[in-house]
C-alpha cells in the first residue's frame, strides 16, 4: 500500500479514454485537470458524445482515439469490451503503449487476449465515478487498486501509478493487486453481499413481515428504508461505529439473531458462489447470456421491478422530499394503503 507524489511518467503522454459514463467522465476530467493530455473515444451519435464535447474534450471515434495514444483506458461496460478491442484497439494501438482497464473481468477470463507488444495494466478506484470526481475537486482522492498484467516497456507499473495519480488515487491510497484478485473479489462482493445478498435479504425480510400480517408500508420502512442508516455507519466506522450508535436492544438482537439468519449454511453457499467465480462458471454463463440477447437477465430484472416492495417503496419515497429535487404529483396525492 502506498501514496505517490513522484513526477508523473504520463506528463507528456497522450491518453485515450474510451467510454464516458460514470467512471469515464470522472477519469477524463481528473486526468485533464492534472495537466495530462486526454482525448475521448466514443461511438458516433452515442448519448455521451455531446456531453464530452460540452465538457471541452476532443471527441473522436474509438479507433481514431487509439491511434497515437500512449495509454488507452477502456472504461466501457464489460460485455462490449471484447468487440471494442478487436475492432478499434488491437489494429490501432501502437507497440509499447499501455492498455488500461478499471476491472479485470475480460483479461482474467480471457475474453480479451492482448497483443504481446503492449503493456496491460489495471487501475480500479474504490468508489463510483461521482465520488472520484468530487473528491478530486476537493483536493483529495479515492483509494485505488492497481495491477500489472503485462509489462513490455519496463514501465508498466509506473504508468499505472501515473494514471492513478492523475485521477486522484495517489492522494489517498494505492493498493497493489493482480487481475485475478481484483476480478474475483469484485464479483464475489457484488453477488454475495452488496447486490445479490443485500437485495435478497431485504426482500425476504419484507415478505416475512407482510405474510405475518404487518402493513407493507411499515415493513418497507423497517427492512429497506432504514438499511441506509446502518450502511452509513458501516461505511463511516465499521462494526465499531454501528454498535456505538444503535440501541442496546438492537445490539443484543444483532448478537443472538444475526447468526440464526446468516449461519454456516449461508457461508457454505457463499463459498459455492466464489467457486463459480473462480472456475469461470459465472463468466461463461454471463457471456452466453449476453450473446443470447439477455433473456434471463431481462426476466429476472423485471421480476425485481414488479415486486410489491417496489410498488410500496415508490409511493413512500414520493413522500420523502429530501430524496427529490421538487415535489411530484405522486407526493401530492393521498396515500392509499397497499394490500
Residue numbers belonging to the annotated binding site for Mg(2+): 186, 190, 222, 226
**Residue 272 dihedral angles phi and psi, to the nearest 5°:** -65, -40
- Which residues are bridge partners to 123 per DSSP? 146
d(CA 311, CA 260): 29
Give yes or no: 225 in active site.
no
- Inter-residue contact 169 to 141 (CB < 8 Å): yes
- Which residues are bridge partners to 71 per DSSP? 15, 98
| 27, 103, 108, 149: the active-site residue | 103
- Which residues are bridge partners to 59 per DSSP? 40
Hunting for cell 439473531 — which residue is that? 257
| Annotated binding-site ranges for NADP(+) | 20-23, 43, 48, 129
Q: How far is CA 158 from CA 111, 181, 206, 247, 278, in A?
A: 26, 20, 50, 49, 29
Grid cell digits, residue 111: 475474453
Taking each continuous run of H as one helix and of E as one strand, the counts in the chain are 17, 8
Grid cell digits, residue 196: 445479490
d(CA 31, CA 38): 7
| Annotated binding-site ranges | 20-23, 43, 48, 129, 186, 190, 222, 226, 247
| Angle at the Cα of 113 from the Cα atoms of 111 and 114, rounded to 5 degrees | 135
SS (H, E, C) 95-149: CCCEEEECCCHHHHCCCCCCCCCCEEEEEEECCCHHHHHHHHHCCCCCCEEEEEE
Q: Name the DSSP class of 325.
A: S
Q: In 3D, which of 286, 308, 300, 137 has the Cα closest to residue 219?
A: 308
Scored b (16 or more CB within 10 A) or e, 91-102 reads ebbeeebbbbbb
d(CA 42, CA 46): 7
Catalytic center residues: 103
Amino acid at each position: 500500500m502506498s501514496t505517490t507524489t513522484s513526477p508523473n511518467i504520463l506528463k507528456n503522454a497522450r491518453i485515450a479514454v474510451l467510454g464516458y459514463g460514470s467512471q469515464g467522465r470522472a477519469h477524463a476530467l481528473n486526468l485533464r485537470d492534472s495537466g495530462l493530455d486526454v482525448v475521448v473515444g466514443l461511438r458516433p451519435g452515442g448519448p455521451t458524445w455531446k456531453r464530452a464535447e460540452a465538457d471541452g474534450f476532443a471527441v473522436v471515434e474509438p479507433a481514431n482515439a487509439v491511434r497515437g495514444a500512449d495509454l488507452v483506458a477502456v472504461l466501457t461496460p464489460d460485455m462490449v469490451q471484447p468487440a471494442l478491442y478487436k475492432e478499434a484497439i488491437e489494429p490501432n494501438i501502437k507497440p509499447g503503449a499501455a492498455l488500461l482497464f478499471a476491472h479485470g473481468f475480460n483479461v482474467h477470463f480471457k475474453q480479451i487476449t492482448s497483443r504481446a507488444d503492449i503493456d496491460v495494466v489495471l487501475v480500479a478506484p474504490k468508489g463510483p465515478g461521482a465520488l472520484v470526481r468530487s473528491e478530486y475537486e476537493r483536493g483529495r482522492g479515492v483509494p485505488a487498486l492497481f495491477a500489472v498484467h503485462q509489462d513490455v516497456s519496463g514501465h508498466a507499473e509506473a504508468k499505472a501509478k501515473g494514471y492513478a495519480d492523475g485521477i486522484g488515487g495517489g492522494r489517498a491510497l494505492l493498493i497493489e493487486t493482480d487481475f485475478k484478485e481484483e476480478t474475483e473479489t469484485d464479483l464475489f462482493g457484488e453477488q454475495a453481499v452488496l447486490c445479490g445478498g443485500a437485495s435478497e435479504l431485504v426482500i425476504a425480510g419484507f415478505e416475512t413481515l407482510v405474510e405475518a400480517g404487518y402493513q407493507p408500508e411499515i415493513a418497507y420502512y423497517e427492512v429497506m428504508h432504514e438499511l441506509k442508516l446502518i450502511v452509513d455507519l458501516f461505511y463511516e466506522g465499521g462494526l465499531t461505529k454501528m454498535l456505538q450508535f444503535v440501541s442496546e436492544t438492537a445490539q443484543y438482537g444483532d448478537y443472538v439473531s444475526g447468526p440464526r439468519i446468516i449461519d454456516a449454511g449461508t457461508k457454505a453457499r457463499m463459498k459455492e458462489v466464489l467457486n463459480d467465480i473462480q472456475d469461470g462458471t459465472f463468466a461463461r454463463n454471463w457471456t452466453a447470456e449476453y450473446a443470447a440477447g439477455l433473456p434471463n437477465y431481462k426476466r429476472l430484472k423485471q421480476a425485481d421491478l414488479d415486486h410489491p416492495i417496489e410498488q410500496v417503496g415508490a409511493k413512500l419515497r414520493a413522500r420523502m422530499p429530501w430524496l427529490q429535487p421538487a415535489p411530484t404529483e405522486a407526493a401530492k396525492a393521498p396515500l392509499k394503503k397497499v394490500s
